[in-house]
Structures are given as C-alpha cells and as structure tokens.
Amino acid sequence: MATSLTQADVDRLEQAIVSGELRVRFSDGREITYQSTEAMLRAVAYAKQQIAEGSGLATATPSTFAVFERD
C-alpha cells in the first residue's frame, strides 16, 4: 500500500533534522527511525520530489547548484 507524502511530512522531517532527532512520526501515524541525518536528508529530497510530481510542478531536469569559494 503506497502512502502519499504531504508538506506536513516534509516539515516534520526537517524539524527532526534541525533538532537532531532520528525518529519522526508522520501525519498518518507512521513512525520511522532513520539511520542517520543523511538518510533523513535523502527522505526530504524524495518527499519533495514526489509532492512536486503529484502537483505537476516537477521539472524534467533536476536542479543543481554550485559552491564558489574565495581564495
């Protein structure tokens, strides 16, 4: 059974990341304990992608960013 992800789920994941917790209880009652913050960040990215695709806002090309450092 597939579960639909919501912005509230993304918000809960992001709040847990900021607070340093690895356990999240979602709006549908599921509770997940992640292995690491990195796993949670991947879950946030996945959830945002699924929400965007569901709303028709997804782009065909993934976004990238650059980091510039000054010497």
Q: Give me the percent of the chain exceeding a pLDDT of 90.
A: 55
49 or 61, which is more confident:
49
Q: What is the pLDDT of residues 28-60, one digit of tens each?
A: 899 999 999 999 999 999 999 988 887 765 555
User: What size, in residues, is the chain?
Assistant: 71
The per-residue pLDDT of the chain, averaged, comes to 84
List Cα–Cα distances, 18 to 11, 15, 21, 50, in angstroms: 11, 5, 8, 22
Position 1 pLDDT exceeds 50: no
Where do the domains of the chain lie? Answer: 1-71
Pick from 14-18, 26-30, 31-35, 64-68: least confident: 64-68
